Structure 1
Amino acid sequence: MATREELVTELRELILGELIPLDPEELKDDSPLVDDVLDSLGIAEVAVFVEEHIGRPLAAEEETRATFASVDSVVDFIVKHG
C-alpha cells in the first residue's frame, strides 16, 4: 500500500497531468473538486484511481460528493478502505 503522501502525489499528477490544465499551485489538497475542478469524466477517472488502490469496485453508496470532494477526501477514503 502506498503511503498517504505517495497517494496525494499520484492523485495530483493524475488531475494536473491528464484531467485539467492548472498550475500545481492552483490545486490545493483541500480545494473542492466536484463542480469546481472536475467534470463527470474527471470524476470517473478519479473513481478508477480509487478502485485501483482499494482493489475493488466502488459501491454505489461510496460514490458520493463527499468521497470526491477534494484531494484530501479521496486520499482519506483510499487510506480507510485500502
Structure 2
Amino acid sequence: MERNRIVEGLRKIIAEELDVAAPAELNESDRLNEDLNLDSIMILQLAVYIEEYFEVAFPEDDVDPGVFATVGSLTDFIVALHVPGAALR
C-alpha cells in the first residue's frame, strides 16, 4: 500500500469522521496530539476508523503508544498490518 494513499486516508478520517480541522495536506512529521489536537478519546476513535477504512485489524496484544505519536509512525504501523508476518511495533 502506498504511503501517500495512507496519509491521505488518515487526513480524510481526521477531517470527516473526527470533525477536526485538518490541514489540506498532512506531513508524516505531524504529531497527533500536539499538531493535530487529537485527544485520547479521538485517538481511540481514530483506531476504529482506521480498521474500517484500511480494512485492517489491530492486534489483540497491547499496541505501543508510540504508534500514535506522528502521522508517519501511524503510517508505518498501517503498512505493517498489510504485510503478512510483519513485526508490529
Instruction: Give the TM-score of the pair, scaled to structure 1.
Output: 0.71
Instruction: Give structure 1 regions of 4+ aligned residues with deviation exceeding 3 angstroms.
Output: none
Unaligned runs of 5+ in 1: none
- Alpha-carbon distance, 1:54 to partner: 5.4
- Three-state SS of the structure 2 residue aligned to 1:50 is helix
Aligned to 2:24: 24
Deviations 1:42-67 (CA, angstroms, capped at 9, x unpaired): 101221133333532433421x3211
Structure with more relative contact order (C-alpha pairs < 8 Å, separation 6 or more): 1
Fraction of identical pairs, as percent: 33
- Flag the structure with higher helix content: 1
Unaligned runs of 5+ in 2: 83-89
Instruction: Give the TM-score of the pair, scaled to structure 2.
Output: 0.67
- Letter matched to residue 73 of structure 2: S
- Letter matched to residue 14 of structure 2: I
